[in-house]
Chain A
Amino acid sequence: MKRIDWRGALLRPQFAALAAVLLINWLLFPGFFDITLQDGRLFGSVIDVLNRGAPVAILAIGMTAVIATKGVDLSVGAVMAIAGAVAAVLVTGGASAIFAVAAALLVGLLCGLWNGILVTYLEIQPIIATLVLMVAGRGLAQLVTEGSIVTFSDPVLIFIGTGSLFGMPMPIVIAAVLALVATLIVRKTALGLLIEAVGVNRSAARFAGISSGLLLLVVYTFAGFCAATAGLIVAGDIRGADANNAGLWLELDAILAVVIGGTSLLGGRFSIPMSVVGALIIQAMNTGILISGFSPEFNLVVKSGVIILILVLQAPMVSQWLRARTVERKAQ
């Protein structure tokens, strides 16, 4: 087993970008790193970044696996809405919270399986196959909630969105556990290697004896599971299922997080932890804009400017040039 190069890992542009965004936030708002204990849970802007970033981070975990197979899943935002709607309607209808959560996760798995079948057996391009559920899924969620925001007061569902474990908000705990488990599974077994092989060349992988069809099914189903988990969190957070807005456009944030994390959209090389870092960069930026006091017309411009900067720093040309310069300086 190879040893992890911690120093090299920490020098990656993503960590530099995260540090830079956090630093700017601190300069804009000196209390940014203050953390206090409020009603038995940690309270502060940094916690907000982690807490609000959790749903996108969870989506990004599933999305990373999908993108590593040279696919993409546009339906995750809609699946979030469906999962939230199913859980909310079940608990308000008198079902137990455990049953509602299990049903929501099961629906997420089924949505992912549906995508996987379209991609694997019908060989529809992933962007089109998942676009179907992206459009239809929100409609399904609206059918489930009958168009209104279904509010609930079930303590278990609310706990998923706003509770805390040892002072740490639940969304952070869930995202961290999911990221850790997923990383261990893909890196401590051959699964990661198989996913990369399918992403680089599906036919070659099949000839090498990998059942790439089954692997794709598993990957899309996992993305659906992650989406359902994120959907439960956002529903629990506002104590209601908002089929029109839950997860709206979050698939794009998730893809962006994966790309910022350095996973190639062409498949192959991927990193789940770096995608989570990507999600945190996006959220650190969002939180920074909120506390900066800029007028909201600037939000999207500032956000896209920072993203361009991060992606340029990661571009092969720029990183080669930077490396050449450091080598030069060392030689002098």
Chain B
Amino acid sequence: MSIIKKLALAAGVSALLSSAAYADLSGKVIGFSQIGSESGWRAAETSVTKSEAEKLGIDLKFADAQQKQENQIKAIRGFIAQGVAAILVAPVVSTGWEEVLTEAKEANIPVILLDRGIDAPQDLYLTSVASDQVKEGRVAGEWLVGAVGDKECKVVELQGTVGSSPAINRKQGFEEGIAGHANLSIIRSQTGDFTRAKGKEVMEGFLKAEDGGKGICAVYAHNDDMAVGAIQAIKDAGLKPGSDILVVSIDGVPDIFQAMVAGEANATVELTPNMAGPAFAALDAYLTDGTEPEKFIITESKLYTPADDAQGEYDRRKGLGY
């Protein structure tokens, strides 16, 4: 074999290899079964997933399940019938997925769970991309520990809906975050049902019960919406949110960044709506050379304060459908 032929062959092989190594997702059809649009965050997740797919040239088939598992199962069956390259599912409930996921497995279609986990054998899905809710609470708690230093600080807590997993985990995480710092204590804790109206009402009650708010050094809300409500209640009581009473919350919705710009909120821990980015990366690696991703991919719980270009963060988020 002449050297030229050898070289050509080598080039051909390496070209084959390299095209395999970067077998991008461009042109692939991927199905996405979304729960519905029960919250602003969910709407943002949908729009971010669509834009991530567009960036990678993926042909994303979107199915809105309107909060019903039967619709999700139907959508997944539809995706299998179309022979898609992969399926993303944000499962509405945690049980009842074995049958349809087995069908997907038999059709050799990898399934990736977004945002929530399920009770099913782990070999039925490729990976699960979700945030660590306990960590979110811990990051918020640790920020407060750093912000108050050695000062005595009484904290009031606005919990999410009683019994919901984000409420339980974000409460636990925050308590872990402030553990070992005797100067911080949670003096009151009530549910604000994750809504602005209830967050405001509960905060009004706390302010009255604690001598017009003079005894309160910080409020920790399990989501930004309740924090926005609490900020209004603090203002109504004649105090300055952000300085008289520190405000820390979780989610990173546009309105909390607006409050930061106004100096009325101090910190938020982002629950990123970009669950699809890591999912597509894992899928790319898997389809390219069969790299099994980790079973549980944890998204970053990033802390934002007014120093992190709050105005810019607001502008970046306001179009996402929050």
Contacts and interface: CB of A to CB of B under 8 A. Distances in A.
Interface of A: 29, 31, 36, 38-39, 43-45, 48, 52, 142, 146-149, 151, 162, 234, 237-240, 242, 244-246, 286-287, 290-291, 293, 295-297, 299
Contact of A244 (B38, B163, B200): B38
Contacts of A238: 196-197, 200, 228-229, 232
Interface string B229-250: 1001000111000000000000
Interface string B293-322: 000000000000000000000000000011
27 contacts: A29-B208, A38-B237, A38-B238, A44-B208, A45-B205, A48-B204, A52-B204, A142-B37, A147-B43, A148-B321, A151-B255, A162-B236, A238-B228, A238-B232, A242-B196, A242-B225, A287-B205, A290-B190, A290-B206, A290-B209, A295-B189, A296-B159, A296-B162, A296-B189, A296-B191, A297-B162, A299-B191
B40 to A, nearest CB: 5
Contacts of A147: 37, 40, 43, 321
Interface in B255-272: 255
Contacts of A151: 255
Contacts of A38: 236-238
Minimum-distance CB pairs A-B, first 9: A290-B205, A296-B191, A238-B196, A291-B209, A245-B195, A147-B37, A45-B208, A291-B205, A148-B40
B201 interface: yes
A47 B238 CA distance: 16
B202 interface: yes
Contact of A234 (B188, B197, B237): B197
A52 B40 contact: no
Contact of A290 (B162, B202, B211): B202
B238 to A, nearest CB: 5
B317 to A, nearest CB: 11
Contacts of B188: 293
Contact of B196 (A36, A43, A240): A240
Contacts of A242: 195-197, 225
B38 A29 contact: no
Nearest to B208: A45
Contact of A291 (B196, B208, B236, B255): B208
B39 interface: yes
A237 B203 CA distance: 14
Interface residues of B, number: 36
Nearest to A55: B197
A36 B228 CA distance: 25
Contacts of B202: 290
Given A38-B238, A142-B37, A293-B188, A299 B162 contact: yes
Given A245-B195, A296-B189, A296-B191, A149 B40 contact: yes
A149 B289 CA distance: 44
Contacts of B40: 147-149
Q: Which of A29, A146, A147 has the most CB of B within 10 A?
A: A147
Given A31-B211, A52-B204, A296-B191, 8 more contacts: A29-B208, A147-B37, A148-B40, A290-B209, A291-B208, A293-B209, A296-B162, A299-B162
Interface in B273-289: none
Contact of B237 (A43, A162, A246, A291): A43
Contacts of A240: 196
B267 to A, nearest CB: 21
Contact of A237 (B200, B209, B237): B200
Interface in B12-52: 37-40, 43
B23 to A, nearest CB: 36
A322 B188 CA distance: 40
Contacts of B189: 295-296
Contacts of B197: 234, 237-238, 242, 245-246
A300 B79 CA distance: 43
A16 to B, nearest CB: 24
A185 to B, nearest CB: 30
Contacts of B232: 162, 238-239
Contact of A296 (B39, B190, B209, B237): B190
A290 B156 CA distance: 12
B318 to A, nearest CB: 10
A32 B104 CA distance: 60
A242 B229 CA distance: 12
Nearest to A43: B237
B159 A290 contact: no
Contacts of A146: 321
A161 B20 CA distance: 61
B238 A290 contact: no
Contacts of A246: 197
Contacts of A291: 205-206, 208-209
A213 to B, nearest CB: 36
Nearest to A46: B208
Interface in B148-177: 159, 162-163
A240 B196 CA distance: 9
A38 B213 CA distance: 13
Nearest to A48: B204
B322 A290 contact: no
Contacts of B228: 238
B255 A149 contact: yes
Contacts of B163: 297
